[in-house]
């Protein structure tokens, strides 16, 4: 079973994204911010991470850099899913190591398609 870590400081978004992923047979672990995500990543290695950008304690850019600079997680694909929709935001996200960048409101089929594409590249 595919395991995905979903990181967002909005309980509503966490619940919505998690529900969509679970409908597609994906096992979901949730974190409320980047710092909590790092702690969870130290205990488990998901197949993929979906993260917001604007969060307290550690933002999505910082989390992505941490994931890509850590030996045990550097190959884990990262999808940034955020309201930050300017071209520079996307550029900066990809520069931090994100493998994909989706803007909110996201379309569930697009998220699932992106997850499948990234996981097929890893395997």
Give pLDDT tens digits for 44-90.
Answer: 999 999 999 999 999 999 999 999 999 999 999 999 998 887 888 88
Domains of the chain as residue ranges with CATH? 3-122 (3.40.50.2300)
pLDDT range class, residue 99, cuts 50, 70, 90: very high
Q: What is the pLDDT of residue 122?
A: 74
Give pLDDT tens digits for 12-25.
Answer: 999 999 999 999 99
- Average pLDDT over the chain, rounded to an integer: 94
pLDDT range class, residue 43, cuts 50, 70, 90: very high
Please report the sign of the dihedral spanned by the C-alpha atoms of residue 98, residue 101, residue 107, residue 112.
negative
Let me know the angle formed at the C-alpha of 32 by 26 and 34, rounded to the nearest 5 degrees: 95
Smallest Cα–Cα separation from 34: which of 54, 20, 17? 54
Report CA Rg, the chain: 13
pLDDT above 70 for 123: no
């Amino acid at each position: 079973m595919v395991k995905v870590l979903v990181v967002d400081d909005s309980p509503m978004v966490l619940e919505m994204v998690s529900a969509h992923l679970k409908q597609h047979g994906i096992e979901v672990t949730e974190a409320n911010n980047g710092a909590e995500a790092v702690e969870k990543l130290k205990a488990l290695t998901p197949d993929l991470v979906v993260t917001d950008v604007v969060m307290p304690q550690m933002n999505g850019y910082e989390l992505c850099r941490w994931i890509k600079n850590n030996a045990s997680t550097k190959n884990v694909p990262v999808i940034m899913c955020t309201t930050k929709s300017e071209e520079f935001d996307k550029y900066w996200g990809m520069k931090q190591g994100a493998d994909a960048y989706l803007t909110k409101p996201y379309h569930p089929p697009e998220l699932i398609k992106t997850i499948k594409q990234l996981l097929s590249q890893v395997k």
